[in-house]
């Protein structure tokens, strides 16, 4: 079975490609390498291209003729989206529209879409269910919600099947140490904490300590990247076996505060690095935790890496080795 993975040279996409290749799928990656790396594509089947280049995208789909598309390609920084909203609407939303149009032209009927818990904004209930109100508080969240709606409308008109996966906080690295997260300007808490422990950053900023949470810092649901990728594969199999198009939350259903994560990073690394308090960032909800019961019950997803310290350990092992591997 052929799978086209957009954004397959990036953090999550590259782990997805690795899993698919290990399971025997024929995988082609389409990535502009703006936040991805050629070495991260384990099977080396890569087309360097941008979703905004419709002509190239259509040519690739018509030539490769994939049975399904897994769509990861997107810009994902909430703070950057607040500063550059049009960039996010163009890249994330317009790029998705181009992909849908190319799928129509190529008669591709299966799509797995990488969405985000940011579509919920500040949730009224925690843990969050898929039917919870969606009202993003950042352009990043809106760009993903607009894309979701376009996919749903396109599905009704063209008869495609889709799985929309709303991620919570993805972290960790390939347990085998072959690939992991690399960022020129990291914004994710665990990666920034590890780089601080490693000595690459002078200190770690905690953005806001006055949230309405037990210790005043934001609470998030952290999921290991390989459990997330397995969820994509499980949803693909569910759709191929006759399942209906659905939206799924992907998380563990358990939240950790920023300060709890920092303490866990210090324990795993053995480094007592400097932490400083900074102002809140725009677009950060106080608490967001997934209710993944729909994914487990309907699709049969069974996470295997649900342990914050293990998530951090795999990320730390990768962080210490990637200087010589990431050439």
On whether the CB atoms of residues 100 and 304 are closer than 8 A, the answer is no
Q: Which domains does the chain have, with CATH numbers?
A: 2-171+222-250 (3.40.50.720), 189-219+253-325 (3.90.25.10)
Distance CA 277, CA 52 (A): 39
Q: Give the single-character DSSP code of 118.
A: G
Q: Give the single-character DSSP code of 243.
A: P
pLDDT in tens for each of the 327 residues of the chain? 999 999 999 999 999 999 999 999 999 999 999 999 999 999 999 999 999 999 999 999 999 999 999 999 999 998 899 999 999 999 999 999 999 999 999 999 999 999 999 999 999 899 999 999 999 999 999 999 999 999 999 999 999 999 999 999 999 999 999 999 998 778 899 999 999 999 999 999 999 999 999 999 999 999 999 999 999 999 999 999 999 999 999 999 999 999 999 999 999 999 999 999 999 987 788 999 999 999 999 999 999 999 999 999 999 999 999 875 554
Among the listed residues 11, 89, 120, 140, the single catalytic one is 140
Between the CA of residue 279 and those of 179, 210, 259, 263, 273, what are the distances in Å? 33, 10, 15, 20, 20
Task: Compute the 3-state secondary structure of the chain and give helix, strand, coil in percent, each to the nearest 5.
Answer: 45, 20, 40
In DSSP notation, 215-239 reads TSS-EE-EEEHHHHHHHHHHHHHHH
Q: Helix (H, G, I), strand (E, B), or coil: what is residue 206?
A: strand
Q: Give the single-character DSSP code of 245.
A: P
CB neighbour list of residue 143: distance below 8 Å, 6 or more residues apart: 74, 81, 88, 89, 91, 92, 93
Beta strand 2-6 with 26-31 is parallel
pLDDT tens string 265-293: 999 999 999 999 999 987 788 999 999 99
Confirm whether 140 is a catalytic residue: yes
On whether the CB atoms of residues 113 and 165 are closer than 8 A, the answer is yes
Distance CA 149, CA 270 (A): 45
The pLDDT, as a whole number, for residue 324 is 57
B/e letters for 131-145, b = 16+ CB within 10 Å, e = fewer, are ebebebbbbbbbbbb
Between the CA of residue 59 and those of 6, 27, 49, 169, what are the distances in Å? 14, 16, 11, 34
The pLDDT, as a whole number, for residue 266 is 98
Round to the nearest angstrom and report the end-to-end CA distance of the chain.
31
* Cα angle 51-8-65, degrees, rounded to a multiple of 5: 65
Distance CA 52, CA 38 (A): 20
Distance CA 93, CA 317 (A): 35
The pLDDT, as a whole number, for residue 79 is 86
Q: Give the single-character DSSP code of 124.
A: S
Going by C-alpha positions, the residue among 20, 327, 317, 302 that lies closest to residue 175 is: 317
């Amino acid at each position: 079975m052929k799978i086209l993975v957009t954004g397959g040279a990036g953090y999550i996409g590259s782990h997805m490609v690795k899993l698919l290749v290990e399971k025997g799928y024929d995988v082609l990656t389409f990535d502009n390498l703006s936040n991805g790396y050629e070495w991260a594509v384990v099977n080396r089947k890569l087309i360097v291209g941008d979703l905004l280049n419709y002509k190239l995208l259509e040519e690739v789909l018509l030539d490769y003729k994939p049975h399904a598309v897994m769509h990861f390609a997107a810009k994902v920084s909430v703070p950057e989206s607040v500063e550059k909203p049009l960039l996010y609407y163009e890249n994330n939303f317009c790029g998705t529209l181009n992909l849908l149009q190319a799928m129509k032209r190529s008669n591709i009927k299966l799509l797995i879409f990488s969405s985000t818990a940011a579509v919920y904004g500040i949730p009224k209930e925690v843990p969050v269910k898929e039917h919870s109100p969606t009202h993003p508080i950042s352009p990043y969240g809106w760009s993903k919600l607009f894309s979701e709606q376009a996919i749903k409308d396109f599905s009704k008109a063209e008869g495609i099947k889709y799985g929309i996966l709303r991620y919570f906080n993805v972290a960790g690295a390939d347990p085998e140490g072959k690939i992991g997260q690399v960022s020129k300007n990291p914004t994710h808490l665990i990666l920034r904490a590890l780089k601080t422990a490693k000595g690459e950053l002078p200190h770690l900023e905690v953005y806001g300590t006055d949230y309405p949470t037990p210790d005043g810092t934001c609470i998030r649901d952290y999921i290991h990247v390989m459990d997330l990728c397995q969820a994509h594969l499980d949803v693909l199999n569910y759709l191929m076996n006759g399942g209906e198009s659905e939206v799924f939350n992907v998380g563990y259903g358990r939240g950790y505060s920023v300060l709890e994560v920092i303490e866990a990073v210090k324990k795993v690394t053995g480094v007592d690095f400097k932490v400083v308090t900074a102002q809140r960032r725009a677009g950060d909800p106080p608490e967001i935790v997934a209710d993944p019961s729909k994914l487990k019950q309907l699709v049969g997803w069974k996470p295997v890496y649900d342990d914050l310290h293990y998530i951090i350990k795999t990320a730390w092992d990768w962080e210490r080795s990637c200087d010589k591997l990431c050439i």
